[in-house]
């Protein structure tokens, strides 16, 4: 089994009664990556994280976790993972530090300095003496991450840690995740129902829709797919496309139905593209700069899937 993947699932299935929570899900998470698991409410994200974390069992299918692929193996590697899936039970009247200290003792983790180091790592050293109840939501989330980091895990599993945070809180969590990944080599599996929240953080994405993995893609590839293009509508797309190649040496374009062409390169050469049509007496019907951003890419993906499948059937 390849250790290049810290988690690799094959054909995972899970039902709750009539509800299909996961359907033949194959997910491969590379060691060292920040894997964004994205999907609407009810898409199956938490179910996947729970299976990997041992909080529930799959009905069928297999997965490997840090090289282990059976119950005894999972038990021994789980101490090398940390997770926040359901809200950790913090005591509201105890301080941030007392709460972590409580869990350190309960888990038998040696070293009183551990808690201070964790508070520092998540940027809560100044809030150590604040009562949990008085912390902002972002601070509470970071305290949860500190708890998940106790025991120095190689894999951190976070279920919607950004949910409900204000923009500042989102930035702080992003910075923390990048620091953990880059400085501590922690592989991170993070779920979100808002794709753009994971932008600039995730190195890889898995898109879940109604229990099915609709796409798994590296962030770099996704960036290539999400970009600005020129939409040109002309009276004769075939003739215009030929001229694009011969006169402007442009080869990166797509001809679509309705005499519509998407030009994907040198989009700044707007005047050249319009002059080309004028010069050859081709009618220019529309000319518009457009952008595929992450969010509408995802909506298109989910929308397309919704027309072809229905996991709740
Ligand atoms: P959310 O963002 O809302 O948490 P999710 O993507 O994490 O959604 P899951 O929580 O994995 O989705 O749920 C997938 C489906 O399984 C949903 O339809 C949900 O209602 C259902 N489900 C999850 N847990 C249970 C349960 N314990 N009993 C019954 N149905 C469940």
- The DSSP line for 152-191 is --SEEEEESTTTT--HHHHHHHHHHHHHHHHHH--EEEEE
pLDDT on residue 110: 86
Which residue owns the Cα nearest ligand 1 atom 28? 16
pLDDT band at 104 (very low <50, low <70, confident <90, very high): very high
Distance 22 CA to ligand 1 centre (A): 10
Pocket test for ligand 1, best of 46, 48, 190 (most atoms within 8 A of CB): 46
User: Is residue 305 pLDDT above 80, yes or no?
Assistant: no
Q: Is 19 in the pocket of ligand 1 (CB under 6 A)?
A: yes
The CA distance from 248 to 272, in Å, is 8
Q: What CA dihedral angle connects 239, 240, 245 and 248, to 10 degrees?
A: 140
Distance 256 CA to ligand 1 centre (A): 39
Q: Which residue, 174, 186, 172, is CA-closest to 135? A: 172
Mean per-residue pLDDT, 264-290: 91
- The pLDDT tens digits of the residues spanning 135-184 come to 998 899 899 999 999 989 999 999 998 888 888 888 888 999 999 999 99
For residue 3, give both structure tokens: 């250790």
pLDDT band at 308 (very low <50, low <70, confident <90, very high): very low
User: Is residue 190 pLDDT above 50, yes or no?
Assistant: yes
β-bridge mates for residue 64, sequence order: 8
User: Is residue 250 pLDDT above 80, yes or no?
Assistant: yes
Distance 20 CA to ligand 1 centre (A): 9
The residue with greater pLDDT, 282 or 269, is 282
Question: Largest alpha-carbon pair distance within the chain?
Answer: 80
For residue 301, give both structure tokens: 């993906």
The CA distance from 206 to 146, in Å, is 25
Q: Is 15 in the pocket of ligand 1 (CB under 6 A)?
A: no
Contact present, 264 and 254 (Cβ < 8 Å): yes
The CA distance from 39 to 207, in Å, is 6
pLDDT band at 19 (very low <50, low <70, confident <90, very high): very high
β-bridge mates for residue 206, sequence order: 37, 216
Q: Which residue, 222, 206, 210, 209, is CA-closest to 26? A: 206
What is 32-70 written as a DSSP string?
A: T-EEEEE--TTSSHHHHHHHHHTSS--SEEEEEETTB-S
Distance 171 CA to ligand 1 centre (A): 27
Q: Is 174 in the pocket of ligand 1 (CB under 6 A)?
A: no
Which residues contact residue 276 at a Cβ distance below 8 angstroms, ignoring those fewer than 6 apart?
240, 243, 244, 247, 248, 282
Pocket test for ligand 1, best of 9, 17, 20, 42 (most atoms within 8 A of CB): 42
In the chain, the N- to C-terminal Cα span, in Å, equals 35
Distance 211 CA to ligand 1 centre (A): 9
pTM: 0.81
Could you give phi then psi for residue 130, rounded to 5 degrees?
-85, 140
pLDDT on residue 238: 95
For residue 94, give both structure tokens: 């105890």
User: Is residue 77 pLDDT above 50, yes or no?
Assistant: yes
Mean per-residue pLDDT, 18-24: 96
For residue 105, give both structure tokens: 């003792």
Other C-beta atoms lying within 10 Å of the C-beta of residue 271? 8
pLDDT on residue 3: 60
- State which ligand 1 atom lies nearest to the alpha carbon of 48: 11
Q: Is 21 in the pocket of ligand 1 (CB under 6 A)?
A: yes
Average pLDDT of the chain to the nearest whole number = 90
């Amino acid at each position: 089994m390849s250790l290049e993947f810290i988690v690799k699932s094959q054909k995972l299935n899970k039902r709750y009664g009539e509800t299909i929570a996961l359907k033949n899900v194959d997910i491969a998470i590379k060691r060292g990556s920040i894997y964004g698991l994205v999907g609407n409410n009810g898409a199956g994200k938490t179910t996947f994280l729970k299976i990997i974390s041992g909080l529930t069992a799959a009905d069928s299918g297999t997965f490997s976790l840090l090289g282990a692929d059976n119950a005894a193996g999972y038990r021994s590697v789980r101490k090398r993972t940390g997770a926040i899936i359901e809200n950790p039970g913090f005591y509201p009247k105890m301080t941030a530090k007392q709460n972590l200290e409580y869990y350190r003792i309960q888990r038998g983790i040696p070293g009183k300095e551990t808690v201070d180091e964790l508070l520092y790592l998540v940027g809560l050293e100044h809030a150590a003496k604040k009562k949990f109840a008085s912390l902002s939501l972002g601070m509470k989330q970071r305290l949860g991450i500190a708890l998940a980091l106790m025991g120095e895990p190689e894999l951190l599993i976070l279920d919607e840690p950004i949910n409900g945070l204000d923009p500042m809180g989102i930035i702080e969590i992003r910075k923390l995740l990048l620091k953990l990944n880059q400085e501590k080599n922690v592989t991170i599996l993070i779920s979100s129902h808002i794709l753009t929240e994971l932008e600039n953080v995730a190195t890889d994405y898995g898109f879940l829709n109604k229990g099915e993995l609709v796409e798994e893609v590296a962030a770099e590839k996704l960036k290539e797919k999400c970009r600005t293009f020129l939409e040109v509508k002309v009276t004769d797309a075939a003739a215009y496309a030929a001229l694009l190649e011969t006169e402007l040496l442009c080869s990166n374009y797509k001809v679509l139905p309705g005499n519509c062409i998407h030009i994907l390169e040198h989009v700044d050469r707007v005047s050249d593209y319009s002059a080309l049509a004028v010069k050859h007496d081709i009618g220019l019907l529309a000319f518009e700069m457009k952008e595929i951003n992450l969010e509408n890419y995802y909506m298109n993906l989910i929308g397309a899937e919704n027309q072809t499948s229905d996991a709740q059937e």
